[in-house]
Amino acid sequence: MDKQELITAKVREAVKDIYDVELESVELQPTRKDFEGDLTVVVFPMLRVIKGNPQLIGEQIGGYLQKSVNEVVGYNVVKGFLNLLISDAYYLRLFAEIRNSHNYGYRLPDENGGAVVVEYSSPNTNKPLHLGHIRNNLLGYSVAEILKASGKKVYKTQIINDRGIHICKSMLAWQKFGNGETPESSGLKGDHLAGKYYVIFDKEYKKEIKTLVDSGLPEKEAAAKAPLLLEAQEMLRKWEAGDKEVITLWEKMNHWVYEGFEKTYADLGVDFDSYYYESNTYLLGKDIVEDGLEKGVFYRKEDGSVWIDLTEEGLDEKIVLRADGTAVYMTQDMGTAVQRVKDHPDIGGMVYTVGNEQDYHFKVLFLILQKLGYDWAKQLYHLSYGMVDLPSGKMKSREGTVVDADDLIVEMTETAGEISRELGKLDGYSEEEKQDLYKTIGLGALKYYILKVDPKKRILFNPEESVDFAGNTGPFIQYAYARIQSILRKAKDVAVDVNITVLHNREKELLKLLENYPAVIQSAAENYNPAVIANYVYDVVKEFNSFYQNVSILGAEDEHIRAFRVQLSEEVAKLIASGCRLLGINVPERM
């Protein structure tokens, strides 16, 4: 039983004995730093069932706890807050448990808990990944890792949007203007090559629109009648009809793009267990619509289109099948969800990592699946996130003003290198070691800067600010880990056996934070929020730095105290590495 469970049970016991009242819940919180104590019992909520002065109630409960709980060695009451002092012996036992724990804070997979699918990335195959995809990938990957640490079995997946008019635009532009250019002949990654022709299509299309407008056509009509767009639409029609030449071109260019994506994923440090392709899933869902019609979930209009009426739920009417029998995105998403459960019968829920512009779409999707009677539909979650902006403004992929993911990774590595060289911390490193370190620091800075923010919030991303070695940044955390490794390298001859009974206040504060790690992981998992982990690790690093500056570790005169402080530093380093691993961040042994 941990400290909070013990105190909760004993506070209920105290209230029952003293006041003959049953408490439904007990509110506990860490004691504020400006008061003496380790754990605080909030008395005010008890006034609903106990009539009296909160100061006196706190005093009576505090006295009861000190007498009946070995771990409580003192207390004080401040304005209705009962601050409890917890014994050093408790924290020393806790430290022994942490030392003996494998993957402290992680839970073993719950075989009966239902697996979770986490979908992220899901790019279009007409352009490379950009800054928005980076936030998507980092969030999805981190949430998947956090869910695994919380005891869930997880399947990481994505659905690749590899069909549609936007794909045909890149294909057509390459066909008309590419002169057979390939990734090999151009030196471009395949996804960059496809993106290049998506931009070319847009430029040539705008030229055609201008020519038609100059000839007297209204702009809207000119946009619809531009020859390039008509050709792209015809190419899409041929693709859907299975035209051999178009399919061959589509397969070739998609292959280039997939290879490019895999390189970016590897550089970013994210992975997937499975892939779904829109070209395979866009027909899924039609059978589900027919089933829903029979159940009365959907209804058919006079023109033959199929709809669902969600007005009673505060939404609107939503089409699920066009009059000509073709699927819409909602149809496809229903089919893909059902297919995933068929592929993995142990699935108990799904997490969709998609920007907040799709909030309404997912409300409708989840509600439809529930109305169709799928039990797992109650466990669907939209991991909605805000846009990522740069100081230069909003990005537009058509116009080629997107911040490319690969370019940003290179820029982050270069920025980390410039700052590291200025600080002069790399004596004795080979050039290869320096480059590896620059990438570790640069990517750590990028990932931490994005993940420390609540997903729902919009981010203004500043690359230089993110690589600051001070403050709430990735490099600040990485440097603390490297500093501890330096201590451990110097501490090889420190005694292994530790025999202490009294803790320094700084040691105790660190242990109080370490104690919270299992609960922090569970909270991050329940809220699908990596920022909970990121900011917790930052708090641990700040507390360790205070410990490092206020007590002597290797210089402690007593060998047992010296050994304990080295071991405590080692456990802090393990926790930093563990927390960073959940964020997809690597930690360097030296900096």
pLDDT digit string (tens) for the chain, length 591 residues: 689 999 999 999 999 999 999 999 999 999 998 999 999 999 999 999 999 999 999 999 999 999 999 999 999 999 999 999 999 999 999 999 999 999 999 999 887 888 999 999 999 999 999 999 999 999 999 999 999 999 999 999 999 999 999 999 999 999 999 999 999 999 999 999 999 999 999 999 999 999 999 999 999 999 999 999 999 999 999 999 999 999 999 999 999 999 999 999 999 999 999 999 999 998 899 999 999 999 999 999 999 999 999 999 999 999 999 999 888 999 999 999 999 999 999 999 999 999 999 999 999 999 999 999 999 999 999 999 999 887 764 444 444 456 889 999 999 999 999 888 887 767 788 899 999 999 999 999 999 999 999 999 999 888 888 988 888 999 999 999 999 999 999 997 776 677 899 999 999 999 999 999 999 999 999 999 999 999 999 999 999 999 999 999 999 989 999 999 999 999 999 999 999 999 999 999 988
Q: What is the pLDDT of residue 455?
A: 97
pLDDT at 428: 81
Identify the CA nearest to 115 among candidates 156, 153, 158, 157: 153
| Residue 285, SS3 per DSSP | coil
**Chain length of the chain:** 591
d(CA 222, CA 205): 10
Listed in sequence order, the residues at least 6 apart from 323 whose beta carbon sits closer than 8 Å to its beta carbon are: 301, 303, 304, 305
For position 280, what pLDDT does the model report? 92
* Distance (Å, whole) CA 139 – CA 155: 15
Which pLDDT belongs to residue 470? Answer: 87
pTM check: above 0.75? yes
Closest CA to 420 of 462, 490, 482, 472: 482
Instruction: Point out which residues pair with 124 in neighbouring strands.
Output: 161
Check residue 401 and give its pLDDT: 54
Which stretch of DSSP H or E encloses residue 30?
strand 28-30
Q: What is the pLDDT of residue 469?
A: 87
CB 320 within 8 A of CB 298: yes
Distance set, CA 225 to CA 204, 206, 230, 369, 567 (Å): 14, 12, 7, 39, 73
Cβ–Cβ < 8 Å for 532, 487: no
Q: Give me the helices (H) in 313-402, please.
A: 329-343, 359-371
| Residue 101 token pair | 């724990």
Q: What does R_g of the chain's alpha carbons equal in angstroms?
A: 29
Domains by residue range for the chain, with CATH = 3-86 (3.30.1360.70), 164-270 (no CATH)
pLDDT at 588: 95
Q: Which long-range contacts (CB under 8 A, 24 or more apart) does 86-94 make?
A: 86/3, 86/38, 86/39, 88/501, 88/502, 88/503, 88/508, 89/501, 90/3, 91/503, 91/508, 91/511, 91/512, 91/515, 92/500, 92/501, 92/503, 94/511, 94/514, 94/515
3-state secondary structure of 299: strand
User: Taking the chain, what is the end-to-end CA distance rounded to the nearest angstrom?
Assistant: 40
Q: Token pair for residue 33?
A: 């730093």
For 313-351, write each residue's pLDDT tens digit. Answer: 999 999 999 999 888 999 999 999 999 999 999 999 999
Q: Do residues 268 and 134 make contact, with C-beta atoms less than 8 angstroms apart?
A: yes
- Collect all residues with Cβ–Cβ distance below 8 Å to 13 and sequence separation of at least 6: 68
Burial level of 74, CB count in 10 A (0-12/13-18/19+)?
middle
Tell me whether residue 238 is exposed, middle or buried, using C-beta atoms within 10 angstroms of its C-beta: 0 to 12, 13 to 18, 19 or more: middle
DSSP characters over 228-263: HHHHHHHHHHHHHTT-HHHHHHHHHHHHHHHHHHHH
Q: What is the pLDDT of residue 283?
A: 87
Beta partners for residue 156, in sequence order: 118
Strand intervals (E) in 374-441:
380-385, 388-389
CB distance 78 to 44 below 8 Å: no
DSSP state letter for 492 = T
Residue with tokens 């819409």: 328
Of 65, 75, 76, 21, residue with least CA distance to 45: 21
Contact predicate 349/113, CB 8 Å? no
